[in-house]
Amino acid sequence: MKKYCFGVDVGGTTVKIGFLKTDGTMLDKWEIKTNTENAGELILEDICKALDEKLAEAEIGFEEIEGVGIGLPGPVLSDGTVLKCVNLGWGVFNVEEKMSQMFHGVKIKAGNDANVAALGENWKGGGKNYHDIVMITLGTGVGGGVIIDNKILTGYNGGAGEIGHMHMNDQETEVCGCGKKGCLEQYASATGVVRLAKRFMEKDKNTKMTELGDEITAKDVFDLAKEGDAGAEAVVCQMADYLGRAMSHIAAVVNPQAFIIGGGVSKAGQYLIDAVKSTYQKTCFSACSEAKVHLAELGNDAGMYGAAALVVGE
Amino acid sequence: MKKYCFGVDVGGTTVKIGFLKTDGTMLDKWEIKTNTENAGELILEDICKALDEKLAEAEIGFEEIEGVGIGLPGPVLSDGTVLKCVNLGWGVFNVEEKMSQMFHGVKIKAGNDANVAALGENWKGGGKNYHDIVMITLGTGVGGGVIIDNKILTGYNGGAGEIGHMHMNDQETEVCGCGKKGCLEQYASATGVVRLAKRFMEKDKNTKMTELGDEITAKDVFDLAKEGDAGAEAVVCQMADYLGRAMSHIAAVVNPQAFIIGGGVSKAGQYLIDAVKSTYQKTCFSACSEAKVHLAELGNDAGMYGAAALVVGE
C-alpha cells in the first residue's frame, strides 16, 4: 500500500476534495466549484488539475498515490460506469477509465455518493466498529447505503440502499419526487417532517408549531418536541414510526450489525435515535433486535473518507 | 476442482443427500432418517456413514471429493458455527470442523437451509441466469435467502433473508409464531392464505370457499380464484398485495436482478406471479422495476444443489 490517496465527493454545486494518508488521516481538504456547463465536460479535468496542484504544493509524486476514489450523484455500476448523473449533466460512460487516463494512469474507483458516504462512516465514523452497516441519511431527501463486509452493496442497477423510496404508506395522496406515493422520504426527510407538521396543524392548532407557521423547519419540530410540545412530539413520533418500520424491513433483508443515522435531521441527536429505536424494537425480527443505532460522525466529510476507502479498502 | 461432491439437506424428520459431479450433475439422491434422540448427537455420524457407504458402492475414494455442503434448519455463521437448531436438538458448535474430523478431513461448508435452497436455485434452478437473486419460499411459513454475486448474504446473526418476519401490518391482532404481530408469514404462507380466506368468509359467505369450510387449503383458494370465484380472487389479491409490497421493500435494500418464488404455495404458478408483480410494480422504486419474478424449479432438491454449491462455488 502506498502512502497517500485522494477522496473526492462530487456534488451539483461543489466538489469536495480530501488528501489523505492511506491509514485514513485527513491531511488537507478543500472545495472547488462544479462546472456543469457543456454537459459537465470539464468536471473531471478540473478535479485532476486540483489534484496535480496539491501534489506539486506538497512535493509529492503521483507514484506515491495509492489511488483516487470519487463519489458521484447518481447510480454507478461496479465497473465504474455512471448511468446518469442528472445534476452534473453527464451521460453514460466509464468514469474510472476516463479519469485514470487524465491522471497519470493512477487507479480510480467510483461509487454512488450515498453509498460512498456510508462507506466513509463505516471506515472512520459512527460505523467504524462494525463490518455490516446500513447508513440512512435524512436530508432534503432520504438516502441510504448498505455496507457488507466493509464493502458497498451496489445492487443490479446501482439501486441498492435506495431506502428513501421504500413504500411505507398505501394511503398517501401526495406524490413523491420519484413519481410514486407513500415513500419513506415523504415522512422521514427534513421536508417530510415539515409536511407531517403542517398536516398536524391543519387538524389541531393547539401546538406551539403554529407560531412558526409555514416557515417551520424540521429542526423547529424536534426542538419543540424536546421542550414537551405535545403536537411536535406527535409529529416526531409519526416520523420515527415510519423510519423505525423501514429499518425493521431492512434488517429482515440484510441483518446489519448497526444502523448509522446521518444528514441534517440527525442533528436532533439521541432524542431521534431513541424514538426510532422504540418502533424498530417493536417491529423487527427477534434475531435482528441487537442491531445498534448510532449517529453519523463525519458530517459533510463522510463522502471524502468513503471515496478514499474505495481505493484503500481493496 | 475435484470431480465429485455431496450436498446434504438436513431437516427435522429426514436428511436428503445428493451425490453430484462438481459441474452440478446429480448422480444419485436418497434420504435417511434424522435421529434427533440425545440432542441429535448421532445426526452427523449417520450422515458420514451414509456418505462412506455411497463412496464404497461407487468405488470412489474420498480424495476425489471436492467437499460436502450441508444445509441446516437454523442460523449458521460464516465460520460454520450453528447458533441453535431447535428441530435437531443441537446447541452451539462448529459443524464444519466437527464433520470434517468425522469425514477424512474433507472440506465441509455449512449454511442455513433457506439460504442454501436460494443458492441452489441460483446455481441450477429458476435463478441460474442471474448472480443477484432473492428467493422467497412460501410453505407452511415464509422463508427467504439473499444471494449477492452468487454467494449467500448471511447477515450479522445469520438473520439476513428472514423476510417471513418482515412487519407488514400494524393492525394485525393475531400473534405470529415469532411472537410479534403483522409478519409477512401471516399472510403469504400456506397457513396465511387459509387465515385470510377464513377471515373473508367470516364477513362474506357469498363465495365457493364456504363449501370447503374449515378444511380449506391454500391450493383450494388459488384453484377457486383461477375459476373466477370473486371471494377467492379477493383473498389472492390481498395475499399478493402483502407479498408484492414486501418484495418492493427488499428491492429498495438489495436491488436484485430477480426474485425466485418457491415452496408449496408457488404451485399456483404464473397466476400467483402475475398477481404479485402487479403490486410490486406499483410500489417499487423505479430503478428496481426491471427485476424479474420467476418460479423456483428445483422443488425439494434445491437444498441439495445449494449445499453442493457451497463447496463448489468457492
The arithmetic mean of pLDDT across residues A14-41, rounded, is 96
B189, B72, A288, B79 alpha-carbon torsion, rounded to 10°: -150
Cα of first residue to Cα of last residue in chain B, in angstroms, is 10
Chain-chain contact of A255 with B162 (C-beta, under 8 angstroms): yes
**Is pLDDT at A34 greater than 90 in this prediction?**
yes
Confidence bin at A177 (pLDDT 50/70/90): confident
Confidence bin at B78 (pLDDT 50/70/90): confident
The Cα–Cα gap between B115 and A73 comes to 33
**Is pLDDT at A74 greater than 90 in this prediction?**
no
Which among B242, B249, B253, B288 is the top mutation candidate for probing chain A, defined by the most A β-carbons within 10 Å of its own β-carbon? B253
Chain-chain contact of A162 with B257 (C-beta, under 8 angstroms): no
The arithmetic mean of pLDDT across residues B260-281, rounded, is 96
**Is pLDDT at B301 greater than 80 in this prediction?**
yes
Å between A314 CA and nearest CA of chain B: 17
Nearest to B178 among A161, A249, A285 (CB): A285
Nearest to B252 among A154, A165, A286 (CB): A165
Confidence bin at A85 (pLDDT 50/70/90): confident
Confidence bin at B217 (pLDDT 50/70/90): very high
Q: Does B152 touch chain A (CB under 8 A)?
A: no
| A-B contacts (CB, under 8 Å) | 141
pLDDT at B314: 53
* Secondary structure (H, E, C), chain A: CCCEEEEEEECCCEEEEEEEECCCCEEEEEEEECCCHHHHCCHHHHHHHHHHHHHHHHCCCHHHEEEEEEEECCCECCCCEECCEHHHCECCEEHHHHHHHHCCCCCEEEEEHHHHHHHHHHHHCCCCCCCCEEEEEECCCEEEEEEECCEECCCCCCCCCCHHHCECCCCCCCCCCCCCCCECHHHHCHHHHHHHHHHHHHHCCCCCHHHHHHHCCHHHHHHHHHCCCHHHHHHHHHHHHHHHHHHHHHHHHHCCCEEEEECHHHHHCHHHHHHHHHHHHHHCCHHHCCCEEEECCCHHHHHHHHHHHHHHCC
pLDDT at A87: 85
Q: Which residues contact B286 (CB under 8 A, 6 or more apart)?
A: A165, A178, A179, A180
In one-letter notation, the amino acid at residue B233 is: E
pLDDT at A122: 97
Nearest to B166 among A146, A167, A249 (CB): A249
Å between A98 CA and nearest CA of chain B: 25
Q: Does B147 touch chain A (CB under 8 A)?
A: no
The arithmetic mean of pLDDT across residues A130-157, rounded, is 94
Average pLDDT across chain A, whole number: 95
Express as a percent the part of chain A with pLDDT over 90: 91
Chain-chain contact of A180 with B283 (C-beta, under 8 angstroms): yes
Q: Does A136 touch chain B (CB under 8 A)?
A: no
Q: Does A245 touch chain B (CB under 8 A)?
A: yes
Residues in chain A closer than 8 A to B134 (CB atoms): 253
Q: Does B55 touch chain A (CB under 8 A)?
A: no
pLDDT at B77: 87
Rg of chain A, C-alpha, whole Å: 20
The arithmetic mean of pLDDT across residues A129-140, rounded, is 95
Chain-chain contact of B248 with A167 (C-beta, under 8 angstroms): yes
Please report how many Cα atoms fall inside a 13 Å half-sphere around the Cα of residue A280, on the Cβ side: 25
The arithmetic mean of pLDDT across residues B83-94, rounded, is 88
pLDDT in tens, A198-238: 999 999 999 999 999 999 999 999 999 999 999 999 999 99
The number of beta carbons lying within 10 Å of the beta carbon of residue A38 is: 8
Do A261 and A295 contact (CB within 8 A), yes or no?
Answer: yes
Confidence bin at B287 (pLDDT 50/70/90): confident
The number of beta carbons lying within 10 Å of the beta carbon of residue B3 is: 12
Q: Does B158 touch chain A (CB under 8 A)?
A: yes
The Cα–Cα gap between B282 and B252 comes to 13
Which among B254, B278, B279, B286 is the top mutation candidate for probing chain A, defined by the most A β-carbons within 10 Å of its own β-carbon? B254
Confidence bin at B15 (pLDDT 50/70/90): very high
**Is pLDDT at B122 greater than 80 in this prediction?**
yes
Chain-chain contact of A167 with B286 (C-beta, under 8 angstroms): no
pLDDT in tens, B173-187: 999 988 999 999 999
Do A136 and A240 contact (CB within 8 A), yes or no?
Answer: no
In one-letter notation, the amino acid at residue B288 is: C
Nearest to A285 among B162, B245, B255 (CB): B162
Chain-chain contact of A256 with B156 (C-beta, under 8 angstroms): yes
Å between B58 CA and nearest CA of chain A: 41
Rg of chain B, C-alpha, whole Å: 20
User: Which of B182, B86, B143 has the alpha carbon at shortest distance from B264?
Assistant: B143
**Is pLDDT at A314 greater than 70 in this prediction?**
no
The Cα–Cα gap between B47 and B32 comes to 8
Express as a percent the part of chain A with pLDDT over 70: 100
User: Which of B182, B184, B188, B236 has the alpha carbon at shortest distance from B209?
Assistant: B236
Chain-chain contact of B253 with A256 (C-beta, under 8 angstroms): no
- A40-70 CB burial, b ≥16 within 10 A, e <16: beebbeebbebbeebbeeeeeeeeebbbbbb
Q: Does A148 touch chain B (CB under 8 A)?
A: yes
pLDDT at B157: 86
Residues 177-206 of chain B whose Cβ lies under 8 A from any Cβ of chain A: 178-180, 182-183
Which among A257, A285, A289 is the top mutation candidate for probing chain B, defined by the most B β-carbons within 10 Å of its own β-carbon? A285
pLDDT in tens, A242-268: 999 999 999 999 999 999 999 999 999
Chain-chain contact of A166 with B248 (C-beta, under 8 angstroms): yes
Residues in chain B closer than 8 A to A156 (CB atoms): 132, 255-257, 291
Chain-chain contact of B155 with A75 (C-beta, under 8 angstroms): no
Give the residue carrying C-alpha cell 468513503.
A306
Whole-model pTM: value is 0.93
Nearest to B159 among A162, A178, A285 (CB): A285
Confidence bin at A286 (pLDDT 50/70/90): confident
Do B135 and B305 contact (CB within 8 A), yes or no?
Answer: no
Do B107 and B49 contact (CB within 8 A), yes or no?
Answer: no
Taking CA atoms, what residue in A is nearest to B245? A167
Residue A82 grid coordinates: 455512471
Nearest to A286 among B166, B179, B284 (CB): B179
pLDDT at B158: 86
Average pLDDT across chain B, whole number: 95
**Is pLDDT at B84 greater than 80 in this prediction?**
no
Q: How far is CA B66 from CA A204, B70, B107, in A?
A: 69, 13, 7
Chain-chain contact of A284 with B257 (C-beta, under 8 angstroms): no
